[in-house]
Amino acid sequence: MEKSFYITTPIYYVNDVPHIGHAYTTCAADILARFHRLLGERVLFSTGTDEHGQKIEKAAQEAGLSPQELVDKVVVRFQELWKTMHIEHDVFIRTTSEEHEKVVQDFFLLLQRKGYIYKGEYEGWYCVPCETFWPESQLDERLVCPDCGRPLQKLKEESYFFALSRFTEPLLRYLEEHPDFVMPESRYNEIYSFVRGGLKDQSISRAGLKWGIQVPGDPDHTFYVWFDALINYITVAGFGRDEAQFSTFWPWAYHLVGKDILRFHAVLWPGMLLGAELPLPRRIFAHGWWTVEGEKMSKSKGNVVDPYRMIAQYGVDRFRYFLMREVSFGLDGDFSEKALVERSNADLSDNFGNMVHRTLNMVFKYRDGVVKKPGAYEDLEWEELLQDVKEKFFLSMERFAFAQALENVWRLIHFANRYIDQKAPWRMFKEGNEDLDQVLYRLLDCSRIVAVFISPFMPSTAAKLWSLIGMGEQFEFSPKIAELEWGRGPEHYRVKHPEPLFPRLT
């Protein structure tokens, strides 16, 4: 049976336009989706937008729009960015869709039937002029509104609660039995000790807020935005709507999130699923945050990295490569254009691009662009290298260690460049050495294999390389894992005239 792989990004708030943080997670998810398609698995990749709640209502007010008008406007910025970044998601979910509203209400009713819902009183810090409740985690001892700076009041309102506290023990047991449930390990430890401290019941509705999904049977209440948002993951998988789809993809779900929203995903969400007696997702992976030239990214500092601008200036694949290669997935990292340029020149132009360029040039110079598959084509060193690279690449991808996966592919590239220096094909040509075909075929085969390895990361460069070495048109490129072997190339490689894949940046 084919395996299933369901990969998700957080659904993004539409009170703001997309920035590098959004681009980062979505790019990582795209890479995993492409990699699992390469493995021949059934893949479901979803991203989308979180369109309800106080923040959106407020942003709409400030923009002089209705919430629906605002979300319809901003959602396009996200959808277009994903196209520009060559993101191939299967589903784009919007929490304002009818389908999702129904799943949220059904899920609530299910929890209610199982006895985990009760009405109580929510007490929190409230800013009257902004009409906003603020969680304590966002406040300091002055207890003023983080938005307008005015003093907050402690306010009580009626609210529905989910009995999360009843899942402290079950969740602890689950974490103990599934050490890979939360990754990386440091985050697992953080979550484990948080749960061990005991969970509190969670308020899941707001009385005064209009812009949200109504609580069934109680039109004065709308759902708390996180309750609504987390459920998107099963809406997409087909919960209550498409049993075949749901049993195919749930619980083979992998949630990618930023570290700031890990607790919602690794505590509240599993609690909700346990309450509904649904199996928990396979993994929740929290990545780190990007600073910008050493500083926290913020609108007020004016240093927000606009992905559209990066792509316009450097091209999609340089941007995708940099995001995944520069920082170990899971750790914080620093973004700067200087670092992007340096990394791109070193890895993409000087190493990778150079290997391809030298190879193609020599094939033209010494063999008029055509190289026949040699009769004897074994070389223990190359053989062992590829097996080792493959093994480590797969292992890294399984652990979402993208930088390591790429580093491994670059071992092939480094080896090929050294091979060219050692074999000195220009000398072989001069001496009329017949082994030249074998050397050139090996280098083309290496380029072919590298194209397959990098295809999840830099899909358009991979397709371009595929076509340069004469494997077919770019749009026909549909890489398969079986191609990661020596000698799987054509009888004759008929290459195209070299053009630099990554011209050096100055």
Per CB under 6 A, residues contacting ligand MSP are: 10-13, 21-22, 24-25, 50, 229-230, 232, 257-258, 260-261, 289-290, 297
- Give me the least distance between CB of 216 and ligand MSP, in Å please: 21
Beginning with the edge strand found earlier in the chain, give each strand of the sheet holding 218-223 in spatial order: 205-206, 218-223, 214-215
Give the H or E element holding residue 117.
strand 117-127
How far is residue 263's CA from residue 260's CA, in Å, rounded to a whole number?
A: 8
The answer to whether the CB of 45 falls within 8 A of the CB of 29 is yes
Which of residues 81 and 229 has its CB atom nearest to ligand MSP in the complex? 229
- Give me the least distance between CB of 433 and ligand MSP, in Å please: 53
- Give me the least distance between CB of 11 and ligand MSP, in Å please: 5
Q: Please give the distance of CA 272 from its chain centroid, rounded to a whole number.
A: 24
Which of residues 121 and 260 has its CB atom nearest to ligand MSP in the complex? 260
DSSP state of 208: S
Which of residues 257 and 360 has its CB atom nearest to ligand MSP in the complex? 257
**Tokens at residue 28, please?**
């990582």
- Give me the least distance between CB of 228 and ligand MSP, in Å please: 9
Q: Which residues contact 61 (CB under 8 A, 6 or more apart)?
A: none
Which of residues 401 and 501 has its CB atom nearest to ligand MSP in the complex? 401
Angle formed at CA 481 by CA 479 and CA 485, multiple of 5 degrees: 105
Which of residues 93 and 451 has its CB atom nearest to ligand MSP in the complex? 93
- Give me the least distance between CB of 23 and ligand MSP, in Å please: 9
Which of residues 125 and 233 has its CB atom nearest to ligand MSP in the complex? 233
Which of residues 257 and 310 has its CB atom nearest to ligand MSP in the complex? 257
- Give me the least distance between CB of 226 and ligand MSP, in Å please: 7
The answer to whether the CB of 140 falls within 8 A of the CB of 147 is no
Which of residues 167 and 269 has its CB atom nearest to ligand MSP in the complex? 269
- Give me the least distance between CB of 430 and ligand MSP, in Å please: 54
Which of residues 105 and 438 has its CB atom nearest to ligand MSP in the complex? 105
Angle formed at CA 485 by CA 482 and CA 488, multiple of 5 degrees: 85
- Give me the least distance between CB of 449 and ligand MSP, in Å please: 32
Count of CB atoms within 10 A of residue 454's CB?
22
- Give me the least distance between CB of 21 and ligand MSP, in Å please: 3
Which of residues 37 and 89 has its CB atom nearest to ligand MSP in the complex? 89
- Give me the least distance between CB of 329 and ligand MSP, in Å please: 11
Which of residues 45 and 393 has its CB atom nearest to ligand MSP in the complex? 45
Q: Which residues contact 331 (CB under 8 A, 6 or more apart)?
A: 288
> How do the residues of the chain divide into helix, strand and coil, expressed in percent and rounded to 5?
50, 20, 30
Residue in the shown chain whose Cβ atom is closest to ligand MSP = 258
- Give me the least distance between CB of 211 and ligand MSP, in Å please: 14
How far is residue 109's CA from residue 111's CA, in Å, rounded to a whole number?
A: 5
What are 23-26's contacts with CB under 8 Å, separation 24+? 23/81, 23/85, 23/307, 23/319, 23/323, 24/287, 24/290, 24/323, 25/256, 25/257, 25/258, 25/287, 26/82, 26/85, 26/87, 26/89
Q: DSSP per residue over 435-466, as a string?
A: THHHHHHHHHHHHHHHHHHHTTTSHHHHHHHH
The answer to whether the CB of 264 falls within 8 A of the CB of 226 is yes
- Give me the least distance between CB of 310 and ligand MSP, in Å please: 14
The answer to whether the CB of 131 falls within 8 A of the CB of 145 is no
Which of residues 333 and 374 has its CB atom nearest to ligand MSP in the complex? 333
How far is residue 352's CA from residue 346's CA, in Å, rounded to a whole number?
A: 9
Residue 290 forms beta bridges with which residues? 333
